[in-house]
Homo-oligomer: A and B are copies of this chain.
Amino acid sequence: MNFPSALIEEAVNQLSKFPGVGKKSALRMVLHILKQEPQDVIKLAQAVEQVRTLIKYCNRCHNVSDGELCNICQSHKRNSELVCVVEDLRDVMAIENTSQFNGLYHVLGGVISPINGIGPDELKIASLVSRAETENIKELVIALSATPEGDTTTFYISKKLAHLPIQISTISRGISIGGELEYADEITLGRSIVSRVPYGK
């Protein structure tokens, strides 16, 4: 693409670094920016800059936070004997939205993925082990994606914690609520038969 202005070229190049945003979408975003009031664009730019430069992470669970400890870790209403291990912030938000979990979290910051150069040391696994050793955790729910990387990470964590008297569980897999059998993929359907549960439980 030949741009009529160096400013536009730079903005398109920067915006097209976002995942799923190509040069054409980035140009559409720049045209949108050009139609906004300057003070609104300055607000946008500040929000983008500040979310990176001012963000803090909870010292305990590594979730993003506005202070040293996140709201969830600070709350006395949460069950601190139950900890859910997730990949990132989005998973915390998704589980919080269900209102079905009353424990604390531990945010790994990713899953083990050798192909992307992510080993256990890039994740918050050592800090999870240290929490497991020092805090009074009874049960650890590992809620990672059902992908080879997620399964590897689940296995690695379970090995690392095998010496501790902590119940390790994973979230259940199966047919979605409201899902029809004929549209389910074979692996999920097969697994839902193998891991069937007694009716009424």
Residues in A lying within 8 Å of B, measured CB to CB? 1-8, 10-11, 13-15, 17-20, 25, 27-34, 36, 38, 41-56, 63-66, 70-72, 88-90, 92-93, 96-97
Contact = CB atoms under 8 A, between A and B. Distances in A.
Contact of A5 (B25, B41, B66): B66
A38 B52 contact: yes
Contacts of A15: 44, 47-48
12 contacts: A2-B97, A4-B64, A6-B66, A8-B89, A11-B51, A17-B32, A20-B25, A28-B90, A33-B51, A41-B52, A45-B45, A45-B48
B48 A7 contact: no
Contact of A34 (B4, B28, B51): B51
A30 B33 CA distance: 18
Given A2-B93, A46-B45, A97-B2, A52 B66 contact: no
Contacts of A55: 5, 7-8, 34
Contacts of A44: 14-15, 17, 48
Contacts of A31: 88-90
A8, A48, A64, A89 interface centre (most CB from chain B within 10 Å) = A48
B34 A64 contact: yes
Contacts of A89: 4, 8, 31
Nearest to A30: B51
B5 A48 contact: no
Q: Which 8 A-B pairs have the closest CB atoms?
A: A45-B49, A11-B51, A41-B52, A14-B47, A45-B45, A14-B44, A11-B47, A45-B48
A3 B54 CA distance: 16
